[in-house]
Amino acid sequence: MISTALSPTERSTPGRTKHRTVLERHALYDVLDTGLVCHIGLVLDDSPVVLPTGYGRDDDTLYLHGSTGARSLRTPPDGVDICVTVTHVDGIVYARSLNHHSMNYRSAVVHGRARPVTERDEKLHGLKVITEHLAPGSWDHARGVSNKEYAAVSVLALPLHEASVKVRAEGPNDDPEDVEANAVWAGVLPVRQMFGTPEPAADLATDLPVPTHVTARAAAPVAGHAATDTAD
Amino acid sequence: MISTALSPTERSTPGRTKHRTVLERHALYDVLDTGLVCHIGLVLDDSPVVLPTGYGRDDDTLYLHGSTGARSLRTPPDGVDICVTVTHVDGIVYARSLNHHSMNYRSAVVHGRARPVTERDEKLHGLKVITEHLAPGSWDHARGVSNKEYAAVSVLALPLHEASVKVRAEGPNDDPEDVEANAVWAGVLPVRQMFGTPEPAADLATDLPVPTHVTARAAAPVAGHAATDTAD
């Protein structure tokens, strides 16, 4: 059983920013469920490689789209050691001093051995989780996966066991002398990821309206899709 | 001399998505200059680690903030092999089939040996490049770096030599039968990163107005800061 607390290890909580580490599992879920893309790190010929890819979470398993570029993610039947990081930039922190300039952010770092998912029911479930994370509602709306498409795609599963979450969500931490001097403006410029207005495909017949699972996301913050995601 | 074309190698253009690879150097600059955060991958005790951090570009050098968490980024005087990836998510691609669901994105992957910057003039220059990328205008506006602060920070330099850029910026690529069937809506839901309204620090004296280098970014797309960045 996986405990409700996170299990950060030395490699998952490195260095200077320990005070920003959050140890509740729901914080990990929040960061993962509201992201659109993760960055997968792996070691290839002794060198690090970092690739962006789609993903989705089901309980304490992260499913990853393994066909997005990395050959090395598909080959080993016994799995591959990876690190998956999801980062939200929430604001630019303008401090009185250059030294205290910073970012507000939420990030999750997960370490573990990713296992290729080959059993048919689990692989289809993994594809559903990934699809519903990317495009909630599409699994029941779009044309399903053919046998040929099923064979060409690969899915990896990563347990959410060794993970850490860091959050900075506050104003600048200036030195008292700089606050006192009152010579420089300080504050936060928020950053938000927003959905825009749906753009129909050029080859779409004009009699097809935008479906509600798409309009529900339009012109809203990306983070707003979390509730839809977890409904799967 | 670094050529104006990119020099992608096997590890920087892995797998299936070769047709999305862009080989012009200005495309690399565009992706890097309009991002807010990069993901650094390194190998730590034989395992991959991926950490988000701030950065900035000056010509063909990427400067990285090396104090943000990874001990291992600071120690080796002869440098450390890293992979730096910057990804922009530009849209969710809704296709007629689940299989052709995708994302529009721009991503840059840079491989190389990051060198700790220790010479005073270059280290200050690197700090300026990183600061002006994060907060254009702050270098001349905020209180400068004290000797103590200078000693506590670390800067890494990575040459933009071995790099690749991938771009997907189009509608769904559905199979002809699915387009013909006209049974499912297809299109793109754009995703944009936006700056919000500046929020003054709680301890800020009320007589300090928001400076123009901050208001110039407010309530605008993040990508709009590229011109300001490269003015440095």
How confident is the model over B31-78, as pLDDT tens digits?
Answer: 999 999 999 999 998 999 999 999 999 999 999 987 655 565 666 778
Residue B41: strand, helix, or coil: strand
C-alpha–C-alpha distance, residues B188 and A217, integer Å: 12
- Between the two ends of chain A, the Cα-to-Cα distance in Å is 22
Mean pLDDT of B180-191: 97
Mean pLDDT of B17-30: 81
C-alpha angle with apex A164: A68 to A3, nearest 5 degrees?
105
What confidence category does residue A229 fall into, taking pLDDT thresholds of 50, 70 and 90? very low
Mean pLDDT of A156-181: 96
What pLDDT is attached to residue B97?
A: 98
pLDDT digits (tens, 9 = 90+) for A147-167: 999 999 999 999 999 999 999
Q: Tell which wins on pLDDT, B6 or B207.
A: B207
B48/chain A closest Cα distance in angstroms: 5
What confidence category does residue B116 fall into, taking pLDDT thresholds of 50, 70 and 90? very high
What pLDDT is attached to residue B147?
A: 95
Mean pLDDT of B128-133: 98
Q: Is A47 on the interface with B (CB under 8 A)?
A: yes
What pLDDT is attached to residue B24?
A: 85
A202/chain B closest Cα distance in angstroms: 7
Average pLDDT, chain A: 88
What pLDDT is attached to residue A76?
A: 72
What pLDDT is attached to residue A223?
A: 82
| ipTM exceeding 0.95, yes/no | no
Q: Tell which wins on pLDDT, B206 or A89.
A: A89
Asked if the model's pLDDT at residue A224 lies above 80, the reply is no
- Residues of chain B contacting residue A192, judged by C-beta atoms under 8 Å apart: 193-194, 196
What pLDDT is attached to residue A74?
A: 62
Do A56 and A136 meet the contact criterion of CB atoms below 8 Å apart? no
Q: How many CB atoms are located within 10 Å of the residue B37 CB?
A: 18
Mean pLDDT of B213-228: 77
Asked if the model's pLDDT at residue B169 lies above 60, the reply is yes
Our CA dihedral for B195, B200, B201, B204, rounded to 10 degrees, sits at 160
Residue B158 lies in a domain: yes
Interfacial A residues in 92-111 facing B (CB < 8 Å): 92, 94-99, 101, 103, 105, 107, 109, 111
What confidence category does residue B135 fall into, taking pLDDT thresholds of 50, 70 and 90? very high
Mean pLDDT of B167-182: 97
Asked if the model's pLDDT at residue B7 lies above 80, the reply is no
A115/chain B closest Cα distance in angstroms: 16
Do A54 and A76 meet the contact criterion of CB atoms below 8 Å apart? no
Using a cut of 0.95, tell me whether the model's pTM lies above it.
no
- Please name the helix (run of DSSP H) or strand (run of DSSP E) that holds residue B94, with its range, or none: strand B80-94
DSSP for residue A35: -
Asked if the model's pLDDT at residue A208 lies above 50, the reply is yes
Residue B205 lies in a domain: no
Residue B82 lies in a domain: yes
- Residues of chain A contacting residue B210, judged by C-beta atoms under 8 Å apart: 185, 187
How many distinct structural domains can be found in chain A? Answer: 1
Residue B230 lies in a domain: no
Q: Is B133 on the interface with A (CB under 8 A)?
A: no
Residue A102 lies in a domain: yes
Asked if the model's pLDDT at residue A117 lies above 80, the reply is yes
Mean pLDDT of B13-22: 63
Asked if the model's pLDDT at residue B230 lies above 50, the reply is no
C-alpha–C-alpha distance, residues A29 and A22, integer Å: 12
Q: What is the CATH number of the domain that holds A136?
A: 2.30.110.10
Q: Tell which wins on pLDDT, B42 or B230.
A: B42
Residue B221 lies in a domain: no
Beta strands (DSSP E) in chain A are: 21-22, 38-44, 47-53, 55-58, 61-65, 80-94, 102-116, 155-159, 162-168, 187-195, 199-200
Residue A76 lies in a domain: yes
Residue-number span of the structural domain to which B87 is assigned: 15-191
Q: How many CB atoms are located within 10 Å of the residue B9 CB?
A: 12
What confidence category does residue A99 fall into, taking pLDDT thresholds of 50, 70 and 90? very high
- Count CA within 13 A, CB hemisphere, residue B42: 24
Q: Tell which wins on pLDDT, A219 or A4.
A: A219
High-pLDDT (> 70) share of chain A, %? 84
What pLDDT is attached to residue A73?
A: 66
What confidence category does residue A232 fall into, taking pLDDT thresholds of 50, 70 and 90? very low
Average pLDDT, chain B: 88
Do A153 and A74 meet the contact criterion of CB atoms below 8 Å apart? no
Residue B172 lies in a domain: yes
